């Protein structure tokens, strides 16, 4: 009798562990972002063909599943399961090096991928970009087309003297014109969108949401139900981030279960040198005591943790900024309490100069 009782407890414990693991891993995926695939383009925006092959081999040899990005988005939207260690591959700008150096490898391996396209340079037949025929070949090879602003302008930046309403209308026009071009030449009006340089403020995100689009930045973390459909994260896989030892940790990342973020607007005032964000969490298998946050340079960010009885756990990130203007990203990781994997969360701001530029 005791033996049967013990056996029942062991089965129950195993089921709880399996269910816990599935809960953590069932509804998220990692999205990789590439630009150039070449050793002759700007290194910070490039992965070489050899590095891409190394990444693809790693995915194959370590049990990863590569899904179309649109399939991942639909599963997250509908709260449906996604296999653990699921990855999507994306390329921004439709550079010709992707066609020349990446397509054959993706096609041979029958891997889905997404190319985000801004139509203006293609309409001008710019030699650095694919042409429409090549993009149609991308579609035939299993690639899907995503959208950008037609000129690939930075939606977070206002033009000189531009009002908020004028910027909203300009962003809307950029999106609409690009969609029309993609429909005309490629037969698609994509629901997936990528922000130029990964930058978007509240105005841009509201336009994206009103259009029913799902948009991606370049802040770090997995796509999940805890992240916004108008500003989903991706992991850059170019430049120093192309190192496989660096990338392998990100590929197994888990989404920190964020309930709410309280922070200053994305575009900071020029004199705000200590931006702050307070993050409220849902319960999970993270070790909050092991939470570590850093800036884009890898320097630690001050983190204040609060775990009061009867309240949801929260932490606050705040650190003094340097003199450089431009994008700011604070990335936080916390260890899983039963494995070597880490939960990820990142928050972004943009610090302009006194003239509002960066």
All structural domains of the chain, each given as residue ranges with its CATH number in brackets, are 25-253 (3.20.20.370), 260-351 (2.60.40.10)
H helices of 46-163, where?
49-61, 69-77, 96-101, 103-108, 119-123, 132-140
Number of neighbours of residue 57 by Cβ within 10 angstroms: 13
Strand partners, 342: 335
Say what the pLDDT of residue 86 is: 98
pLDDT tens digits, residue range 43-81? 999 999 999 999 999 999 999 999 999 999 999 999 999
Phi, psi of 256 (to 5 degrees): -65, 130
Query: How far is residue 354 from each of residues 77, 204, 308, 325, measured CA to CA in Å?
Result: 40, 22, 40, 10
pLDDT tens digits, residue range 199-231? 999 999 999 999 999 999 999 999 999 999 999
pLDDT tens digits, residue range 302-355? 999 999 888 999 999 998 888 889 999 999 999 999 999 999 999 999 999 998
Say what the pLDDT of residue 266 is: 97
State the DSSP H helix or E strand holding residue 334, giving kind and residue range, or none if neither.
strand 326-335
Say what the pLDDT of residue 58 is: 99
| Among the listed residues 32, 24, 4, 12, the one whose alpha carbon sits nearest the alpha carbon of residue 234 | 32
Residues 177, 119 contacting (CB under 8 angstroms): yes
> Which one is predicted more confidently, 3 or 292?
292
pLDDT tens digits, residue range 10-33? 444 444 444 444 444 469 999 999
CA distance 158 to 118: 19
CA 115, 104, 55 angle in degrees (round to 5)? 75
pLDDT band at 267 (very low <50, low <70, confident <90, very high): very high
Please provide the average confidence, as pLDDT, over all residues in the chain: 93
């Amino acid at each position: 009798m005791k033996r049967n009782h013990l056996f029942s407890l062991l089965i129950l414990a195993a089921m709880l562990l399996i269910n816990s693991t599935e809960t953590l891993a069932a509804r998220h995926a990692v999205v990789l972002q590439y630009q150039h695939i070449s050793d002759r383009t700007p290194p910070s925006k490039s992965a070489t063909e050899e590095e891409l092959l190394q990444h693809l081999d790693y995915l194959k040899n370590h049990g990863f599943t590569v899904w179309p990005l649109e399939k991942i988005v639909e599963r997250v939207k509908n709260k449906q399961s996604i296999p653990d260690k699921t990855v999507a591959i994306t390329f921004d700008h439709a550079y010709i090096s992707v066609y020349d150096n990446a397509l054959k490898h993706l096609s041979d391996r029958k891997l889905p991928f997404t190319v985000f396209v801004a139509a203006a340079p293609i309409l001008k037949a710019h030699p650095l970009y694919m042409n429409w025929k090549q993009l149609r070949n991308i579609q035939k090879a299993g690639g899907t087309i995503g959208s950008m602003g037609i000129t690939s302008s930075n939606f977070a930046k206002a033009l000189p003297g531009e009002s908020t309403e004028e910027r909203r209308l300009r962003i809307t026009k950029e999106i609409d014109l690009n969609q029309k071009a993609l429909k005309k030449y490629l037969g698609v009006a994509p629901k997936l969108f990528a922000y130029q340089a990964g930058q978007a403020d509240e105005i841009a995100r509201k336009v994206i949401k009103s259009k029913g689009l799902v948009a991606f930045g370049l802040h770090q973390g997995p796509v999940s139900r805890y992240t916004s459909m108008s500003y989903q994260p991706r992991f850059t896989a170019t430049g120093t981030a192309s190192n496989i030892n660096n990338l392998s940790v990100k590929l197994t990342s888990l989404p920190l279960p964020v309930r709410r973020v309280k922070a200053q607007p994305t575009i900071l005032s020029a004199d705000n040198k200590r931006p702050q964000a307070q993050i409220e969490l849902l319960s999970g298998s993270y070790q909050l005591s092991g939470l570590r946050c850093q800036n884009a340079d890898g320097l630690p960010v001050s983190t204040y943790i609060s775990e009061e009885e009867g309240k949801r756990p929260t932490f606050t990130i705040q650190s003094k900024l340097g003199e450089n203007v431009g994008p700011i990203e604070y990335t936080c990781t916390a260890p899983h309490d039963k494995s070597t994997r880490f939960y990820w969360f990142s928050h972004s701001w943009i610090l302009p100069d006194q003239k509002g530029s960066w």
